[in-house]
């Protein structure tokens, strides 16, 4: 089973902090070759996929166990068992992939070439859906640092980018599985040609995405306060934190931003119920003469049950000091911000695993102010393409991601999280503005290039001009349709090829 481990290591190394993105194009080759050449039984195929998944996800997510003990987790010793359980759960998806590839493909190379990329992509989409959805580690995200290789996302999203990477993997795997020099050369050339064509086409699409037009301009001020989580929720420091917010705004005001953007829960209070702090933000917006978007906690009583529900919210203070718009985070971090289904069964909130007990929001409407509007994405929501797509479909002219990754500490977590945001800009051809408490804050242009950024554990501000765009991409309009339809078609063809069985006198994996 060593090929499964090798594939897991190679795919893990394609992501930060290792970041050898090119490995993603060959990472699955050892696993695929071993599945087809060694005639695994279905149970052996399942075990190989599970071992691959365990290796990959452990290498990708090991840092979860290092969650900072003061980061609102009341039972820190649970983090290692939680990591193991999460990795075991996530490993079921590649295990199921290998099982289905064996069962449907009949061990034939032709069937595997048709089935493999499609099955993997559909399982990634399934893995990202629902309350337990977790898109972290989707193959397409490994390419986010190379804008020239991710431009297909405009049409097929992150899963379409991953689909191309998977096709290349199976092409290179066919080089080792095929007989005859000509056939092997053909498969190898096919894989290389796909990469070259992706890069060349990507360059052309990037040029088109950067073409200027008459779209309105907006100067954004992205603030990174770098507030230490050990003091953030200590009432003794609340005044000084609001003082920091005021100071950073006034320092950035010399560069004349049209809006100031602060991270998730940057205001450490229930500002609706603490008038002194709400007034400070209102007075600050009036003094600046510009709106301020800031994260805070909100509480509202359920009219039916009478229970007080807590929301992870973002609000916009207008230039005349009023709180004119609010967004409540829709997709909560499972087991971190809420237990799954606790919004439906409140008794689950009495179980204490150290999680928050937030209530999910129910609306994905862009925040509108004056002539412009934007979609607000809070923290974990940035890894789900359907959220950003919904905002753009409803008219958002740019995207704002506010987050507090400080609880990751000095681990690969913040880097991986920031990397995934880049794909949202390309999918929707929108500027993406990201404000993170302790980093990484950045502005990403519609071509997927990071225009400016602030690194980890630094206080600072980015002030830059973006465009408010209105055109919708194919992906913004139709979502994952460009991946789902071809995948279903290839699976049907693959099943048909697999049913033909082995040819007498030739190995099952042969053409």
Q: Which residues does the annotation mark as catalytic?
A: 264, 329, 379
* Closest listed residue to residue 167, CA positions, set 130, 193, 144: 193
How many angstroms separate the CA atoms of 221 and 461, rounded?
7
User: Helices 153-177 and 29-37, interaxial angle, to 10°?
Assistant: 50
What does R_g of the chain's alpha carbons equal in angstroms? 24
- Residues 6+ away with beta carbon under 8 Å from 100: 115, 119
Q: 């002219």: which residue's tokens? A: 397
How many angstroms separate the CA atoms of 423 and 162, rounded?
12
Order of strands across the sheet that contains 450-454: 367-369, 372-378, 398-403, 432-436, 441-444, 450-454
* Tokens (6 digits) for 127: 């893995």
Bond before 17 cis per omega within 30 degrees: yes
* DSSP character at residue 241: H
Alpha carbon distance, N-terminus to C-terminus of the chain: 24
CB atoms within 10 A of CB 128: 20
* Closest listed residue to residue 419, CA positions, set 398, 437, 405, 409: 405
């Amino acid at each position: 089973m060593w090929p499964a481990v090798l594939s897991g290591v190679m795919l893990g190394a394609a992501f930060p902090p290792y970041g050898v993105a090119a490995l993603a194009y060959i990472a699955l080759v050892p696993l695929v070759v071993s599945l087809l050449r060694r005639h695994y039984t279905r149970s052996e195929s399942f075990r190989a996929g599970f071992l691959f998944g365990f290796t990959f996800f452990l290498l990708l997510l090991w840092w979860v166990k290092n969650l900072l003990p003061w980061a609102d987790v009341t039972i820190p010793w649970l983090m290692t068992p939680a990591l193991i359980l999460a990795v075991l759960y996530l490993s079921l998806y590649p295990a199921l992939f290998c099982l289905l590839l064996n069962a449907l493909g009949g061990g034939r190379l032709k069937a595997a070439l048709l089935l493999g990329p499609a099955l993997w992509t559909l399982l990634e989409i399934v893995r990202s859906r629902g309350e337990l959805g977790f898109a972290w580690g989707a193959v397409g995200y490994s390419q986010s640092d190379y804008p020239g290789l991710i431009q297909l996302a405009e049409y097929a999203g992150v899963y379409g980018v991953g689909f191309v990477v998977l096709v290349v993997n199976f092409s290179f795997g066919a080089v080792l599985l095929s007989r005859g020099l000509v056939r092997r050369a053909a498969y190898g050339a096919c894989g290389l040609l796909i990469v070259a064509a992706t890069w060349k086409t990507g360059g052309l699409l990037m040029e088109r995405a950067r073409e200027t037009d008459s779209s309105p301009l907006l100067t954004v001020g992205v603030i990174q306060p770098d507030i230490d989580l050990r003091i953030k929720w200590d009432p003794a420091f609340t005044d000084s934190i609001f003082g920091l917010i005021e100071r950073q705004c006034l320092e950035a005001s010399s560069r004349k931003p049209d809006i100031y953007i602060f991270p998730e829960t940057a205001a450490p209070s229930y500002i609706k119920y603490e008038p002194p702090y709400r007034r400070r933000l209102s007075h600050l917006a009036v003094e600046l003469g510009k709106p301020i978007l800031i994260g805070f906690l909100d509480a509202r009583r359920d009219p039916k049950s009478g229970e007080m529900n807590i929301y992870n919210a973002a609000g916009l203070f207008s230039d005349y000091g009023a709180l004119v718009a609010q967004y409540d985070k829709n997709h909560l971090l499972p087991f971190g911000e809420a237990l799954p289904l606790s919004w439906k069964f409140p008794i689950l909130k009495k179980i204490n695993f150290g999680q928050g007990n937030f209530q999910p929001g129910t609306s994905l409407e862009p925040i509108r102010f004056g002539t412009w509007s934007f979609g607000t994405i809070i923290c974990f929501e940035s890894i789900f393409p359907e959220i950003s797509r919904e905002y753009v479909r409803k008219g958002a002219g740019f995207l704002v991601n506010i987050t507090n990754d400080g609880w990751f500490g000095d681990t690969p977590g913040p880097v991986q999280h920031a990397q995934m945001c880049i794909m949202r800009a390309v999918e929707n051809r929108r500027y993406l503005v990201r404000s993170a408490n302790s980093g990484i804050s950045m502005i990403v242009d519609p071509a997927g290039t990071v225009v400016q950024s602030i690194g980890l554990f630094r206080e600072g501000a980015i002030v830059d001009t973006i465009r408010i765009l209105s055109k919708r991409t194919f992906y913004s309009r139709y979502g994952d349709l460009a991946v789902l339809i071809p995948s279903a078609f290839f699976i049907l063809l693959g099943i048909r090829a697999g049913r033909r069985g082995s040819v007498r006198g030739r190995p099952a994996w042969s053409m």
